[in-house]
Structure 1
Amino acid sequence: MKVVFASPARYFTDAAPIGNGRLGALVWGGVTSEKLQLNHDTLWTGGPGNYTNPKAPTVLSEVRSLVDKGLYPEATAVAYGLSGDETQSYQPLGDIDLAFGEHIKYTNYKRYLDLESATVNVTYSVGEVLYSREHFSSNPHQVIATKISANKPGAVSCTVSLATPLDHRIRVTDANEIIMEGSCPGEKPAGDGNASNHPPGMKFCAILYLLTSGANGQVQVLNDKMLKLDGADSAVLLLAAATSFEGPFVKPSESTLDPVTSAFTTLNMARSMSYAQLKAYHMDDYQSLFQRVSLQLSRGSNGVLGGSTLAHLPENISQDAAVSDCTVQMVDCSRLNELNNSEKPTVDRIISFRHDEDPSLVELLFQFGRYLLISCSRPGTQVSNLQGIWNNETNAPWGTAPHPNINLQMNYWPSLPCNLSECQDPLFDFIGSLSVNGAKTAKVNYGANGWVSHQVTDLWAKTSPDAGDPSWALWPMGGPWLATHLWEHYSFTMDREFLERTAYPLLEGSASFLLSWLIEGHEGYLETNPSTSPEHYFIAPDGKKASVSYSTTMDMSIIREVFSAVLLSADILGKSSTDVVQRIKAALPRLPPIKIGRDGTIMEWVCIYLLFFYLSK
């Protein structure tokens, strides 16, 4: 099962992703040069922040008053005062660059991501020499491994180097190691993406180790920064990386971790093994997750037996026999088509899907989604960000920050139905960190109990509203929506210990905030005020654009789900008599019902306003 590319990558999005949850790379697959664009999941700008706003209660009171008067555009304007600071930004670690020479004439180029082995392979021919490169990111040994080989002895030659857009220094040791040390900006880069104008933040180290085979292979050091390999039979590259990240509550300047020591410790364990051993461990680990689920889809209507199929059969052939023979032929034909399709560039298969609904492509995309989750979220790593763990920019769109207004949840929706429950562990660890910072935000900003988190967050578990437009920045339902994943995990696993020790305390804290956030409102209902529908505007009765009102259906649906999860959990754990549970039982009947609009659709807002999209990602 392969994602196939017809040529080397021209853009970041053309490259093939590999990852072990912490260390990721995008393989470009060039011929004259190869690039592995590197990422480490903890390499972020900034440090722990103050996610409270002492002025927020006064602004909140004014916004609520304007909403009660039906002055929604005015409430939207005042709600800017509830904004917090921007999130920090996920940074690229750098690149492994391999230069093979100029003006290489090659044929038979192939590049593919093998989902069953979690390897990226590149092959091509130069004259009579067949070159191959294989890449994978090992979770058991926490390294990226590359093997370069040829079918002719002494044919492997290249220049090897490391690069990064971040502040750094590079040195070479022992003619087979390149060490790159550096630091992230202490604050998010400005719009120009220049990382050099900021105080140092998170420290990092990447070490690239080169191992060659062949009697005539030679390695030279160039400018104390690069390695030049000539005449080897094959070469193996191992990359280990580490940062000084010591948790979301520790400032980079106060970290006691030395990334150089950490990277060398990891590398020393990996290079004590052969490439074949590293790959075997990698395969065992990866396939223990990937092989849990298979998906096989039948052909569509063009591959289904119909009544007319039997109408023209020879008279001396029974219908039962004919059906059996025809079915075998059709299955064989289907498998042949799928085999042929598996060698086609995947982009061509996507384009042709419009007129040929190939079910094997659907299977491939399904398993590709599972592959990405396995590759970017493992126990002990950070939560999957807006781009998993892959990013090539110092000032990437939205900082590649996790967005709990749907994107972060979407990353983890496949984890349970696709039998990857362990991949949720980083999400639960992250929710725990959000609950710590979010308790401060809830108390100071809103005078509320429990914990809250808004529409966007980052490595440092930011819980305050984002800076900017309330249509997306002001949304305190991010934390509650994330909390529903805790109950879903228990529902799938029936892990009572998880429910009692991890899920219930976080769910109860989220419910406590929601009970504080709900206020007396219209027609005797409890309401959320202010309330937004993330990244959406509506047209107010005066014809003006607004985003702030009260009791959106999204708010109420999430609140009901959290309250229900707490009640069910409390019943299982024998906590049904607690104050929180009793308050939830009293609040549930007072939540406004879902309304149906004149067009038969569910109304997102309590009045009939014109909806249009604002910043949908």
Structure 2
Amino acid sequence: MKSVLPAALALCATVAGAQQTGMQLWYKQPAGKVWEAALPVGNGRLGAMVYGNPGAELLKLNESTVWSGGPNRNDNPHALAALPEIRRRLFAGDYVGADSLAAANIQSEKINGMQYQPVGDLSLSFPGHEQYNDYRRELDIARAVATTTYTAGGVRYTREVFVSAPAQVIVVHLTASKPSALSFDAGFSSEQKSEITADNDGLLLTGITSTKDGVAGQVKFCAQVRVLHTGGTVQVSGQRLSVKQATAVTLLISMGTNVNNYHDLTRDEKKYVSAYINKAQQQTYAQLLAAHTKAYQQYFNRVQLNLGTTPAAELPTDERLKAFAAGNDPQLVALYFQYGRYLLISASQPGGQPANLQGIWNDKMVPPWGSKYTININTEMNYWPSEVTALPEMHMPLLQMVKELSVTGEQTAKVMYGARGWVAHHNTDLWRITGPVDPIYYGMWPMGGAWLSRHLWVHYLYSGDKQYLRSAYPALKGAAQFFLDFLTEEPTHQWLVVAPSISPENSPKSHNGKSIAAGVTMDNQLVFDLFSNVQHAAAALDTDKAFAAQVTAAKLRLPPMQIGQHGQLQEWLQDLDDPADKHRHISHLFGLYPGSQVSPFSNPALFAAARQSLIYRGDISTGWSMGWKVNWWARLLDGDHAYQLIRNQLSPVGAHDGGGTYPNLLDAHPPFQIDGNFGCAAGITEMLLQTYDGCLYPLPALPAAWKTGSVQGLRAPGGFIIKDMQWNNGRLVKLVLQSVLGGNCRLRLPAALRMQGGAVLSAASGANSNVFYATDAIKQPLVSSKALVATLPLPATQLYDLSTVKGQTYTLIAIP
């Protein structure tokens, strides 16, 4: 995909190109046997968890295409015939009957998705290193290198581990402070059906993944280790290698599978693996490290965040985590934000697979939820930071998956629902299945295509690349075609609604424990969002006017949002919300974030109702849910409450009744899910910059804890880059904008600023002329006669327009 932004991003990288400090996770003790204490490294395709154990080092190994089963489909062919009766029962209020019929005819008959699985373990045994001192283990996310150092027997030992994107190998570099002092054994192990051999070329692990739901394992995988040593000898001992009396050793680890793509398993995995390791062997360790660092930092260095530093930053990371909720450690927030970016760079690279529920790091043959792609929130949340934190390349694997689902989902739409276009339900996997997964309570959600398609449009908003938009438009249109055919008229108001569906993964008390419903608020918001994006895409490409007119007509018949009897934004079509409901999913707030349908300035009643819903649900929840809540409270312009959610998130697992964070700063659902890391990183960004309401809004939700700080490199739709933003005592004092595409830049400013260099900042009026900031008018909400409609105080701001020229930079400074 071509993009118009790389040159501008390179400029941004230059601004933020200095080595960032304080970017280390570090510990005084090894991980031992605790996976959640080990440190993740990866290059999008290859991943490892590094334990840092002196006497028995362990690397848990993953490759992104190692999944159980093989190409398959899970459509239920009985769905279409049963659909009219299911809808009749729904509209008659027979939720038990509708659920029973859907379970028998829509729920997958057998296949509920394959599992992402580990390759195996590489273990390194160091005799005599059980006794050690002066120990330190760290992950430097500014370089993407994990380092372990300690002293044993009077010798200082150092291990460095990184995963090179240019070389496509994992590199383990071992050194000793004295010549000939490095001796260890190395061996593979795996829970997979596999064979392990050792010879003078190194170690070789070959295997095939397991069967699931009757689908035979078809992924053949291979892992190879080559030993490059300075001094000493390497001997073969059974299935292990023994290194004796070396001074330095570099291990190259290459892994691969027979998977070319989701429907092609014809690659020769052994040749694939050997080609990479043979090429990497021709480089020195210094060359491998330099190439890795350069490739990684071209992404990482684009953004810097400074929230200030206190003495707490000198503590080990696990100790900082324990103290954070009650302490003063703003730099940990900056580290956690950048850790989210590190994880996205390490788990999702152009040309590869998207980050799954655990990124690429999983040590279990049967991981929680299969470590699949849960597309009713979790997969999308993984990519919320991608565009705004200057990582659009990392977005590409997800965008490619959406295009692939638009192919596999056509058959599902036709066979199950008799519809055009394509559909995906709440889960998918490497094989791009699109039928329902899991019982109806969770799986009766045909909205995955609607939400995922949003990412296609968002990438265009930030890049302005029409060539890319042309390539994405068929998938975007196909998602809309499905809903044009699938929407059905509900009998009370004759609104067009999605039926059957659910509000993930919740149910109202009146439904007798059944989640199945019609016209739930999230569905209405998603379809509104999808139809709006298709309208804008067709206009941008000057195409498909007749289809756009059909979309417009259907959009006008969607239900409005509703304010219920408790003053809340209703979750269902009927006023069924329970103020005591603390469910982790608050899906009906999609329109607040990541959607743009709830604005404090243009629809304050809905804004207040969304806040009421969030208050009822409470703060403490699972990790990803708290990450989403950071974004919601930021959109509610309440920085202090958003910061409280960050404190809750950055609490050790077990510190409260919800999720939290493990010692390695990975998110806890619990168990581990990576989405909370990405959701919270996005939320931190949302506190600093919002762009959804027709303008750029700097510092919309700055908490009192971040009185002074700066950020460089954030991006905004329409090709704007925040080259520098500084604030002091909670007041914006400097804003430097780079305009990549030109056009009007509308700013919502909390305080008066003046331009440097003669550019004119004028009071704004009317709609923003910049098409990348077009807003979509929503219907007036329906308000319950029992509701007390609140009006919330809003910060005093003023809208300004700045006419920008492509490639120019503009500086605004505070008026003394």
The 3 A distance-change label for structure 1 pair 363 and 103 is closer
1:415 is paired with a residue whose SS is helix
Shift of 1:576: 4.9
**For 1:179, which of 195, 204, 214 is the aligned residue?**
204
**For 1:392, which of 363, 368, 374 is the aligned residue?**
363
Structure 1 match to 2:57: 34
Letter of the 2:138 partner, please give it.
Y
Shift of 1:78: 2.3
The answer to whether the 8 Å contact 2:43/2:168 transfers is yes
1:540 is paired with a residue whose SS is helix
Shift of 1:199: 4.9
Letter of the 1:291 partner, please give it.
N
Shift of 1:62: 2.1
Letter of the 1:240 partner, please give it.
S
Structure 2 match to 1:549: 517
The answer to whether the 8 Å contact 2:129/2:152 transfers is no
1:499 is paired with a residue whose SS is helix
Q: Give the Cα–Cα distance (whole angstroms) in 1 for the partners of residues 128 and 92 of structure 2.
A: 71
**Residue 507 (structure 1) aligned with residue 476 (structure 2):** yes
The answer to whether the 8 Å contact 2:570/2:576 transfers is no
Higher alpha-carbon Rg: 1
Letter of the 1:184 partner, please give it.
T
Letter of the 1:202 partner, please give it.
V
The answer to whether the 8 Å contact 1:89/1:188 transfers is no
Structure 1 match to 2:107: 83
Letter of the 1:269 partner, please give it.
K
Letter of the 1:83 partner, please give it.
Q
Q: Give the Cα–Cα distance (whole angstroms) in 2 for the partners of residues 76 and 137 of structure 1.
A: 48
**Residue 228 (structure 1) aligned with residue 251 (structure 2):** no
Structure 2 match to 1:519: 488
Shift of 1:501: 1.7
The answer to whether the 8 Å contact 1:72/1:540 transfers is no
Structure 1 match to 2:304: 294
**For 2:273, which of 263, 271, 285 is the aligned residue?**
263
* CA offsets 1:353-399 (integer angstroms, 9 cap, x no match): 12223110000000000000000000011111110000000001111
Structure 1 match to 2:539: 571
Q: Give the Cα–Cα distance (whole angstroms) in 1 for the partners of residues 479 and 486 of structure 2.
A: 11
Structure 2 match to 1:583: 550
* CA offsets 1:186-232 (integer angstroms, 9 cap, x no match): 3369xxxxxxxx95521011110001112xx1221101x11111111
Structure 1 match to 2:290: 280
**For 1:12, which of 35, 54, 59 is the aligned residue?**
35
The answer to whether the 8 Å contact 1:45/1:186 transfers is yes
The answer to whether the 8 Å contact 1:537/1:614 transfers is no
Letter of the 2:220 partner, please give it.
K
Shift of 1:180: 1.1
Q: Give the Cα–Cα distance (whole angstroms) in 2 for the partners of residues 393 and 576 of structure 1.
A: 47
Structure 1 match to 2:141: 115
Letter of the 2:174 partner, please give it.
I
Letter of the 2:424 partner, please give it.
S
Structure 2 match to 1:604: 571
| Alignment of structure 1 residues 470-549 onto 2, 5 Å | 470-502=440-472, 504-521=473-490, 522-540=492-510, 544-549=512-517
2:493 is paired with a residue whose SS is helix
Shift of 1:342: 4.0
The answer to whether the 8 Å contact 1:4/1:343 transfers is no
Structure 2 match to 1:325: none
Letter of the 2:538 partner, please give it.
A
The answer to whether the 8 Å contact 1:2/1:342 transfers is no
Shift of 1:341: 3.8
**Residue 201 (structure 1) aligned with residue 211 (structure 2):** no
**Residue 219 (structure 1) aligned with residue 239 (structure 2):** no
1:451 is paired with a residue whose SS is coil
Q: Give the Cα–Cα distance (whole angstroms) in 1 for the partners of residues 234 and 279 of structure 2.
A: 23
Structure 2 match to 1:443: 414
* CA offsets 1:490-534 (integer angstroms, 9 cap, x no match): 1111111111122x1111000000111111113121111112111
* CA offsets 1:131-178 (integer angstroms, 9 cap, x no match): 11000000001000001111111111100111111111111232x411
The 3 A distance-change label for structure 1 pair 342 and 357 is closer
Q: Give the Cα–Cα distance (whole angstroms) in 2 for the partners of residues 538 and 432 of structure 1.
A: 35
1:605 is paired with a residue whose SS is coil
**For 1:56, which of 79, 100, 110 is the aligned residue?**
79
Q: Give the Cα–Cα distance (whole angstroms) in 2 for the partners of residues 209 and 23 of structure 1.
A: 16
Query: Which 4+ stretches in 1 moved above 4 angstroms?
Result: 614-617
1:537 is paired with a residue whose SS is coil
Structure 2 match to 1:311: none
**For 2:323, which of 337, 347, 352 is the aligned residue?**
352
The 3 A distance-change label for structure 1 pair 98 and 497 is same
Letter of the 1:77 partner, please give it.
S
Q: Give the Cα–Cα distance (whole angstroms) in 2 for the partners of residues 200 and 396 of structure 1.
A: 16
More deviation, 596-605/418-427: 596-605
Letter of the 1:27 partner, please give it.
V
Structure 1 match to 2:384: 413
**Cα RMSD between the aligned structures?**
1.6
**For 1:372, which of 335, 343, 347 is the aligned residue?**
343
Structure 2 match to 1:302: none
More deviation, 604-613/395-404: 604-613
Structure 1 match to 2:788: none
1:123 is paired with a residue whose SS is strand
Letter of the 1:566 partner, please give it.
V
Q: Give the Cα–Cα distance (whole angstroms) in 2 for the partners of residues 572 and 220 of structure 1.
A: 64
Structure 1 match to 2:590: none
The answer to whether the 8 Å contact 1:178/1:207 transfers is yes
Shift of 1:49: 1.0
Q: Give the Cα–Cα distance (whole angstroms) in 2 for the partners of residues 177 and 358 of structure 1.
A: 46
Shift of 1:127: 3.7
Shift of 1:604: 0.7
Q: Give the Cα–Cα distance (whole angstroms) in 1 for the partners of residues 138 and 281 of structure 2.
A: 26
Identity %: 39
Structure 2 match to 1:161: 187
Letter of the 1:391 partner, please give it.
N
Q: Give the Cα–Cα distance (whole angstroms) in 1 for the partners of residues 96 and 494 of structure 2.
A: 24
More deviation, 344-353/561-570: 344-353
**For 1:125, which of 122, 127, 151 is the aligned residue?**
151
Q: Give the Cα–Cα distance (whole angstroms) in 2 for the partners of residues 160 and 392 of structure 1.
A: 19
The 3 A distance-change label for structure 1 pair 343 and 275 is farther
| Alignment of structure 1 residues 427-442 onto 2, 5 Å | 427-442=398-413
Q: Give the Cα–Cα distance (whole angstroms) in 1 for the partners of residues 415 and 375 of structure 2.
A: 21
The 3 A distance-change label for structure 1 pair 393 and 188 is farther
Q: Give the Cα–Cα distance (whole angstroms) in 1 for the partners of residues 217 and 86 of structure 2.
A: 39
2:435 is paired with a residue whose SS is coil
The 3 A distance-change label for structure 1 pair 287 and 526 is same
The 3 A distance-change label for structure 1 pair 440 and 576 is closer
Structure 2 match to 1:305: none
The answer to whether the 8 Å contact 1:155/1:231 transfers is yes
Q: Give the Cα–Cα distance (whole angstroms) in 2 for the partners of residues 199 and 444 of structure 1.
A: 24
Letter of the 1:590 partner, please give it.
R
Q: Give the Cα–Cα distance (whole angstroms) in 1 for the partners of residues 103 and 28 of structure 2.
A: 49
